[in-house]
Amino acid sequence: MELMKTTLVGWIALVCIAFWSSGCEFRRVVVNAPIAADTLQRLNPGEDSLHDIVDVLGAPDEIDAKTSGMVFRYRYGDSKTMRVNFGWLLRLVLPFAPSMNLGRGEGDTQVLHIALNQDGTFEHYFIQDPPDPPGFWFWPF
Amino acid sequence: MTNQHQGLWIINPVIWRILTRCVGVMVLMGVCMGCAFVRGEMGDPFLEDRVKELKKGQTTRQEVALRFGAPDEIVQVNDYDIFHYRRFDSKMGWLLFFSRLNVGSDHLWVFFNPQGIVEDVIFGTRTDGLEFQIWPFGE
């Protein structure tokens, strides 16, 4: 008997949580894989060729000219969005659910900049410190 | 305590089993109705065999254009003209209120010397390991 009671209460709780949670939304968009800074230690200035760089990091997202040589650029992006529809709760007492949304999104990008000499050998790199990962929060104010 | 006093909690075990299964199916249907897996691709995949056909010092600009079409971008760096071909792949998993979209890109860069002959080829894929994911938290 106790088992039946617990099961029924469990199912009711699950349905209630699913119903209430329908008013929330968690979205994430990730572009490319994070750039691992430690892999860059393998590159030797003036020695490693363009193909050695590609073997370590893959093909770049962008190539730009510089005074002598070129620049490879790699990008990584991560964004998180959360939204809560407080109007959804009114479904419990009203026949309709007015829309009362509060939402917020945060995004981070990381850029790796690799400079090559005129002869195509590795010159230097710049990379920003890994950004704090964006969080989920709905309060926009 | 008699059966009548126990009210709702006294149900025939067979009926109870049917009832819990019905509720389970309803919850499962509710979950399944709110799920989606979406894939978006932009551009044709670069076949490795076709990329290998590009011979340094032999293949001309016209032959590259015949194989891969017009480039998405032409970059001029030092004395090189560089044809840039891109491809994007995205996979999204969505379940009720959680969703995650993973985007990856492949790039093919073909370097030409001033005579319009292939000097170098850079090719890399980042879409191979792209996964459908739903859970937006963590890595």
Residues 6+ apart with CB under 8 A from B43: B72, B85, B86, B87, B88, B106
The answer to whether A71 and A115 are in contact (CB under 8 A) is yes
Cβ-Cβ contacts under 8 Å, B23 against chain A: 11, 15
CA A118 → CA A50, A83, A115, B111, distances in Å? 11, 50, 10, 14
Query: What integer best gives the mean pLDDT of chain B?
Result: 86
- What is the distance between the alpha carbons of residues B57 and B62, in angstroms, rounded to a whole number? 14
- A33–chain B nearest CA distance, Å: 8
Q: How confident is the model at residue A17 (pLDDT cuts 50, 70, 90)?
A: low
* pLDDT at residue A127 tops 60: yes
DSSP structure class, residue A22:
T
* pLDDT at residue B24 tops 90: no
Judged by CB atoms closer than 8 Å, whether chains meet at B30 and A33 is answered as no
What pLDDT sits at residue A20? 59
Q: What interface predicted TM-score (ipTM) does this complex get?
A: 0.77
* pLDDT at residue B21 tops 90: no
User: Residue A30: enclosing H or E segment and its boundaries?
Assistant: strand A24-31
* pLDDT at residue A18 tops 90: no
- What is the distance between the alpha carbons of residues B29 and B40, in angstroms, rounded to a whole number? 26
- What is the distance between the alpha carbons of residues B101 and B94, in angstroms, rounded to a whole number? 9
* pLDDT at residue A9 tops 50: yes
- Least confident range of A108-112, B5-9, B34-38: B5-9
Q: Give the length of chain A.
A: 141
The answer to whether B119 and B112 are in contact (CB under 8 A) is yes
What pLDDT sits at residue A122? 93
Q: How confident is the model at residue B1 (pLDDT cuts 50, 70, 90)?
A: very low
The answer to whether A4 and B16 are in contact (CB under 8 A) is yes
Among B107, B88, B92, smallest CA distance to B41 is for B88
| Residue B31 vs residue B79, higher pLDDT | B79
| Stretch 38-97 of chain B: residues touching chain A, C-beta under 8 Å | 75-78, 82, 84, 96-97
What pLDDT sits at residue A134? 85
* pLDDT at residue B6 tops 60: no
Among B98, B103, B99, smallest CA distance to B130 is for B103
- Mean pLDDT, residues A114-126 taken together: 92
* pLDDT at residue A137 tops 80: yes
- Retrieve residue B46's tokens: 């670069």
SS (H, E, C) chain B: CCHHHHHHHCCCHHHHHHHHHHHHHHHHHHHHHCEEEEEEEECCCCCHHHHHCCCCCCCEHHHHHHHHCCCCEEEEECCEEEEEEEEEEEEEEEECCEEEEEEEEEEEEEEECCCCEEEEEEEECCCCCCCCCCCCCCC
What pLDDT sits at residue A16? 63
- Mean pLDDT, residues A119-127 taken together: 91
Q: Does A138 touch chain B (CB under 8 A)?
A: no
Q: How confident is the model at residue B74 (pLDDT cuts 50, 70, 90)?
A: very high
- A141–chain B nearest CA distance, Å: 23
Query: What integer best gives the mean pLDDT of chain A?
Result: 85
What pLDDT sits at residue A41? 86
Judged by CB atoms closer than 8 Å, whether chains meet at A136 and B108 is answered as no
User: Residue A56: enclosing H or E segment and its boundaries?
Assistant: helix A50-57
Q: How confident is the model at residue A22 (pLDDT cuts 50, 70, 90)?
A: low
* pLDDT at residue B120 tops 90: yes
- What is the distance between the alpha carbons of residues B15 and B40, in angstroms, rounded to a whole number? 47
Largest CA distance in chain B: 99
What pLDDT sits at residue B33? 63
The predicted-structure confidence for A56-114, as pLDDT tens digits, reads as follows 888 999 999 988 899 999 999 999 999 988 887 777 788 877 888 899 999 999 999 99
Among A25, A103, A51, A1, smallest CA distance to B6 is for A1
